[in-house]
Chains A and B, each alone.
Chain A
């Protein structure tokens, strides 16, 4: 293997390749910053430019765009709650809170560091055990994917705050919105009212831009416009405490991201949501998540990067794209006459190992480029909001239009901007809606495929797979685990204090369940019953406001 690595670096480390890798990373960062223009679109747009290049140089540049855009998308998610890609939606939850608390610098820096570390680990895993994980991915048929999607949907519990029925309702609303368009199983147009523009469905990128970017903008206008944030220089740097807290979160995010990234079609968005869910369950500071906790920034970013590298496992070894961007890259491989598949590593070692080495180089460039620039990017928040919000509208509308080159996208952004604003004013959690919207089509696809496999029967297919059953047990644990723990703790507490009341945590965005909500509504005093419908996005400082 060492020979292969030396060969790879030998091929990748030419001046020309380094230059194009740098250009790719830089362009990717810019593309990622722009809402709507994700890595898939960016790579697709720039493939024609690379047609005259040597295949390795071209792939190095395209991979640079891929990695750069992942980080770029996080920058605006953290600074102005405008996620550049669906996978960076989760970064808005804590990253934006950190930015509003004057800690945009550490949020961006830890995001870059976490992404780098997870990229390195996942690259090592990709290089050493890619064939093993590819075989594992092959064992994942429709029943197992269906179980994974159910597990993904169960993370709604994590994003629902204290009102689980509300979170579930919003998740279902997302699934229903995703039902609009051509049905994956039969090709029947659903809820399109004959509008051809709707045949492709309601695109979640535009919905996300509306909900987050425009919704937050209108919310800020409602609040009387955010003041420019003038953070002290030392507040822009990472502290030892930040790094200490971020380390386990990065490790968890990397594992979750890599495992999900190996599965064809699972995508980086699901990885980022599930990594955040894992933090909500396992982090020492889980109570602080949603209020500007560094774990909530680094874990999803680590997962996104690990998943985006792991996406190359099925792409390179099986020739099956792991996600949308790797599907475009697969197209690029074919353009250059490269046939991905089990024999690629043997037939074209220079190219494959050169590409993997370029991933490493690209991530180093990304870190060198973005770590020093993090405090500089944070200066964006010094701009007066009177200038900033028209710019947010401009980039949101252009970004949305460029996804499909359709005016429908612009209207979707405006409509969902108003929906997002209303949800923020009423304290409704936005994340379950996005989760339903993203996972809905994947869930339905897996469901239809499973039923086709079982000739109409779904249940025997699932019960016949130990892997699927194991994943479903994990999903069940995710849902009922906290209830059981809370019940046990509540009993212990009431035994020791004689207090019969339902225990209530101070954090609105914690793992409450339906039973909690009903119980607190019944048992609590008028003031306490107010806990039924919290604002999960609330920060402690906001709670203090009259």
Chain B
């Protein structure tokens, strides 16, 4: 891989994101290991393996492996992002990269806001609004095309999930049960 051949490869060094990822793994293991002491190693009634055994062993192992990975990263480093070892956006200027990052944040935020809107608007309308926002605002498609996509999503999803497959999707405030007389 260093034989990426034509591309010059940057020297290995400890990378903050990689270190952070390995620290998260170690912490994850540590938390589960510590939490496992709330559960018994064996069941008091019959002596069989208890609820604490697997998380204790797996948590400890993950803690040790995570620390080992951190040590390895600090010692030997790695060649990762920006070094040709992870697929990178090609031919993007700094401005384009900033725009891409902004888009990533906006799309993620759109998903979070949609999830918050689902109990209010209902699943399908919330997703249709999200589709309209992503296509018209984020991707700057023409409004008729964006509207057509959004309405298409609404209609096809309604027919497929509610009419054919009868999945009980949440209707939010549009739920007829909310408005029907008792």
Contact = CB atoms under 8 A, between A and B. Distances in A.
Interface of A: 27, 30-31, 34, 37, 42, 45, 165-166, 168-170, 172-173, 175-176, 179, 183, 185-186, 188, 190-191, 214, 218-219, 221-224, 386-387, 389-391, 393-394, 397-398, 401-402, 405, 407, 410-411, 414, 417-418, 422-428, 440, 443-444, 447-448, 451-452, 455-456, 458, 504, 506, 508, 517-518, 521, 526-535, 538-539, 542-546
B47 A447 contact: no
A176 B112 contact: no
Nearest to B5: A544
Given A185-B43, A186-B51, A530-B79, 12 more contacts: A165-B72, A168-B61, A191-B55, A386-B139, A386-B141, A393-B111, A397-B123, A402-B167, A405-B168, A411-B115, A533-B18, A533-B73
Interface string B1-42: 111111111111000011001000100110010010001101
Nearest to B150: A390
Candidate in B86, B103, B157 with the most chain A CB atoms within 10 angstroms:
B86
A544 B6 contact: yes
B104 interface: yes
Contacts, number: 263
13 contacts: A42-B165, A169-B65, A173-B28, A176-B62, A222-B100, A224-B96, A402-B165, A414-B108, A422-B21, A530-B85, A531-B1, A535-B85, A545-B87
Indicate the member of A389, A398, A533 with the most B CB atoms within 10 Å. A533
A123 to B, nearest CB: 28
Given A169-B62, A393-B111, A532-B12, A398 B86 contact: no
Interface string B131-161: 1001100010100000001000100010011
A538 B99 CA distance: 25
A542 B96 CA distance: 20
A394 B108 contact: no
Contacts of A219: 87
B28 A191 contact: no
Nearest to B49: A451
A222 B103 CA distance: 8
By Cβ-Cβ distance, the 7 closest A-B pairs, closest first, are A530-B79, A456-B47, A533-B78, A183-B51, A386-B139, A521-B76, A172-B62
Interface in B106-131: 107-108, 111-112, 114-115, 118-119, 123-124, 127, 130-131
B2 A401 contact: no
A423 B141 CA distance: 31
Given A185-B48, A542-B87, A401 B169 contact: yes
